[in-house]
């Protein structure tokens, strides 16, 4: 099989960031891609005005690319935050204010995957209370996703880079997926398997794939070390994606890596141009 047999999209919140937001969809299209994903792009506004939403929607449509994944509001990304939904007070309020806005924007573009970052542990807050708040908000998110026919994704990050984030193993992420599905009865919560984050946690990636491919709703990749393009580190990403395919995963592979000291358009040499357009 190999890279040519996968469906790739480009994360426009980590690639093409040398360009203004509204220019990134066209840049991805010019590089040969037909699908993109995004973190919530308005880090200071969980519910931006109609003009901002319409401008991004138009940029995506004019570029002729498909939006296949969108994060709910997660605070300052990139930055110190790692989510909002389990953070008591203003941040969880912002997350709740964002749920319908994010779902509505996703629906307007036919996007069927919404990613909810769990949120950091907060000094002085009881972890059990944070987990209860997280489940409450994830249930809201799952129901909103269900209304638009979308999947709710739960992501594991890595402990070295996100020491306050509690989901730093595949099993922890899967545990939350199972709790949300049990609470809602909808079955639309799925695992976001980020191979870079899992490798940073020292996990046995072939074993993770074998155990959890059936509960995986999205995959993201970057090489390790360095979080660069495939081939810049030591992860056998082509083999791992082949294993995922053989295990039954046929969804999107999100390119969520750093381009390095070069324009993003030059960071795709590992992937033949004819393999960039989703078939």
What confidence tier does 255 reach under pLDDT thresholds 50, 70, 90? Answer: very high
Single out the catalytic residue among 37, 91, 203, 256.
256
In the chain, % of residues over pLDDT 90 = 96
256 as an active site residue: the answer is: yes
23 as an active site residue: the answer is: no
CATH of domain 3-275: 3.20.20.150
What pLDDT, on a 0 to 100 scale, did the predictor assign at position 278?
85
What pLDDT, on a 0 to 100 scale, did the predictor assign at position 1?
62
Q: Where are the domains of the chain?
A: 3-275
Phi, psi dihedrals of residue 262, rounded to the nearest 5°:
-160, 160
Model confidence pLDDT, tens digit, residues 205-217: 999 999 999 999 9
What pLDDT, on a 0 to 100 scale, did the predictor assign at position 4?
84
Phi, psi dihedrals of residue 74, rounded to the nearest 5°:
-140, 20
Q: What is the CA radius of gyration of the chain?
A: 18
How many other CB atoms sit within 10 Å of the CB of residue 143? 15
Question: Which stretch of DSSP H or E encloses residue 189?
Answer: strand 189-194
Chain mean pLDDT for the chain: 97
What pLDDT, on a 0 to 100 scale, did the predictor assign at position 142?
98
Residue 226 has pLDDT above 70, yes or no: yes
Look at the pTM and tell me if it is higher than 0.75.
yes
Single out the catalytic residue among 37, 91, 155, 203.
155
Q: What is the three-state SS of 210-252?
A: HHHHHHEEEEEECCCCCCCCCCCCCCCHHHHHHHHHHCCCCCE
């Amino acid at each position: 099989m190999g890279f040519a047999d996968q469906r790739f999209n480009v994360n426009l919140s980590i690639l093409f960031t040398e360009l203004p937001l509204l220019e990134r969809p066209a840049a991805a299209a010019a590089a040969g891609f037909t699908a993109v994903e995004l973190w919530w792009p308005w880090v200071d506004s969980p519910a931006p005005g109609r003009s901002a939403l319409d401008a991004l929607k138009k940029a995506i449509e004019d570029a002729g690319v498909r939006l296949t994944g969108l994060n709910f509001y997660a605070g300052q990304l990139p930055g110190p935050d790692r989510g909002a939904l389990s953070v008591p007070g203003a941040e969880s309020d912002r997350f709740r204010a964002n749920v319908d806005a994010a779902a509505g924007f996703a629906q307007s573009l036919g996007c069927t995957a919404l990613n909810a970052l769990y949120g950091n542990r907060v000094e002085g807050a009881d972890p059990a209370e944070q987990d209860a708040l997280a489940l409450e908000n994830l249930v809201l998110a799952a129901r909103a996703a269900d209304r638009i026919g979308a999947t709710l994704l739960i992501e594991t990050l890595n402990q070295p880079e996100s020491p306050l984030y509690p989901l730093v193993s595949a099993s922890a992420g899967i545990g939350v997926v199972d709790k949300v599905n049990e609470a809602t009865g909808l079955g639309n919560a799925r695992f976001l398997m980020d191979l870079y984050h899992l490798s940073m946690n020292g996990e046995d990636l072939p074993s993770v794939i074998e155990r959890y491919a059936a509960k995986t709703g999205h995959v993201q990749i970057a090489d390790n070390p360095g979080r660069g393009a495939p081939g810049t580190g030591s992860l056998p990403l082509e083999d791992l994606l082949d294993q995922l395919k053989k295990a039954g995963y046929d969804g999107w592979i999100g390119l969520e890596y750093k381009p390095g000291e070069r324009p993003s358009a030059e960071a795709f040499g590992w992937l033949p141009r004819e393999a960039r357009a989703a078939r």
